[in-house]
Amino acid sequence: MKVSMTVNGVAVSHDVEPRTLLVQYLRENLGLTGTHVGCDTSSCGACTLIVNGEAVKSCSLLAAQCEGAEVMTIEGLAASDGTLHPIQEGFREKHGLQCGYCTPGMIMSSVQLLQRNPNPSDQEIRHALEGNFCRCTGYDNIVKAVQWAASQS
């Protein structure tokens, strides 16, 4: 079946098998490997990205379900000149990552949080990131990274 959507501002269209997951489509058809596959059960959040303005776990969506959708991946956050998005800069500035495997999903969830709430409390940040697991950090620097990004606007 043919699936068409806009990914990071670019219209794309490919023939896919009906069972193709969105994360597979992005990684295998488009070469966008920043979206990670961590668990295949929508538990870890490593595959989180934004579809039509909502943070979603792309391992739980079929590519066909995103027909006509606007999809934003981690690759689409930085400006065309390479300037990092404030959340990306916050993770760098506040050491909000260690191995980096969960980072794209954490960043995408944080982007949606700050779109909805530009000045979240510590508790609101932690609540927004509950669906994203990091096995390396204690989350404190991740929270500081989101707070730093919020202070930049």
Per-residue pLDDT of the chain (153 residues; tens, 9 = 90+): 999 999 999 999 999 999 999 999 999 999 999 999 988 788 899 999 999 999 999 999 999 999 999 999 999 999 999 999 999 999 999 999 888 899 999 999 999 999 999 999 999 999 999 999 988 877 899 999 999 999 997
* 95 and 52 both lie in a single domain: no
16 and 64 both lie in a single domain: yes
**Whether residue 65 is found in the same domain as residue 92:** no
Measured distance CA(26)–CA(36) in Å, rounded: 10
Tokens standing for 24?
Answer: 């597979």
In degrees and rounded to multiples of 5, residue 59 shows phi and psi of: -85, -5
First to last CA, the chain: 42
In the chain, the number of structural domains is 2
Query: Of the candidates 46, 76, 106, which is a domain's last residue?
Result: 76
**56: domain range?**
2-76
Do the domain assignments include residue 81? no
Same structural domain for residues 96 and 63?
no
